């Protein structure tokens, strides 16, 4: 099993451009999450999904959008990229609400906005 797979691993964007970070998991987990990690800061939740067709905002959702059309995939869309979105983005999944603390993370997508 591959676990949680994120693409791309690295990307440089210009201010105002848009892009989608891809995330796929093969563990049949219902719950999926997007976190961002900034230097010297704890991971912050951007969006999460409790199943196909159901998404909700986390702590820092502004400037992002998500969709969840299948159990496996949870893409994160950045619209009108800004330097403040320079960060490392991690997709994660968990089996259930009870096991929300047992997150399986991808290897991250490093995004730089210039």
Task: List residues binding other proteins (CB under 8 A).
Answer: 4, 31, 33, 40-45, 48, 50, 56, 58-59, 90, 92, 97, 100-108
Burial string for 83-104 (b: 16+ CB within 10 Å, else e) reads eebbbbbbbbbbeeeeeeeebe
Which candidate, 55, 53, 10, places its Cα nearest to that of 33? 55
How many other β-carbons are positioned within 10 Å of the β-carbon of residue 109? Answer: 23
At closest approach, how far in Å is the CB of 72 from other proteins? 18
Burial string for 41-50 (b: 16+ CB within 10 Å, else e) reads eebeebbbbe
At closest approach, how far in Å is the CB of 10 from other proteins? 10
Residue 58 or residue 82: which is nearer to other proteins going by CB?
58
Q: How far apart are CA 97 and CA 84, in angstroms?
A: 31
At closest approach, how far in Å is the CB of 104 from other proteins? 8
Residue 19 or residue 104: which is nearer to other proteins going by CB?
104
At closest approach, how far in Å is the CB of 93 from other proteins? 11
Residue 38 or residue 69: which is nearer to other proteins going by CB?
38
Residue 14 or residue 42: which is nearer to other proteins going by CB?
42
């Amino acid at each position: 099993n591959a676990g949680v797979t994120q693409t791309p691993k690295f990307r440089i964007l210009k201010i105002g451009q848009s892009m989608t970070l891809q995330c796929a998991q093969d563990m049949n987990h219902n719950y999926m999450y997007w976190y961002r990690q900034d230097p010297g800061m704890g991971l912050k939740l951007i969006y999460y999904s409790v199943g196909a067709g159901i998404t909700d905002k986390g702590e820092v959702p502004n400037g992002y959008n998500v969709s969840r059309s299948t159990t496996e995939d949870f893409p994160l869309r950045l619209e009108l990229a800004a330097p403040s979105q320079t960060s490392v983005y991690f997709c994660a999944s968990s089996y259930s609400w009870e096991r929300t603390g047992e997150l399986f993370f991808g290897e991250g997508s490093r995004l730089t906005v210039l």
